[in-house]
Amino acid sequence: MLSELAFGEKHGCFEKPSEKEPTKNVDCPEVLPLKHSEEPPFENAMVNDSPLVHPDSRSLTKYCLGTRLQMKNPKKSHKLQTCKYHDADNAEQGKFLKTMNQEALQVCILFSTV
């Protein structure tokens, strides 16, 4: 399955989801926007036509993060324990992520596929 190839056992989270509370301050430099990253884009990845390789990261690990709006208390839409593992603020670098940009892109994709 393509999603398993893309997200692996972490399911797009910073750590494998379980029934315990997620770890905070996980070091995850690959989620940094390029303007905050010390690493240049991985140029060799740009010639790879696999949809699983992203040129802005040296890692093949992919993340699926929720927006801060979704994670805000009281949580109305994301109540499952496993949803906490998709919180961008679990990453040490999460403070540099603008999660509402992600939300805006999701809305654009929704409208373009309807």
- DSSP labels for 47-96? G---TT--TT-S-------B-HHHHSSSPSS--SGGGGGGBGGGBGGGGG
Tokens of 96: 């540099």
Domain extent for 90: 2-113
pTM of the model: 0.67
Gyration radius from the chain CA atoms: 15
Domains of the chain: total:
1
pLDDT at 82 over 70: yes
Give residue 90's pLDDT band: very low, low, confident or very high (50, 70, 90). Answer: very high
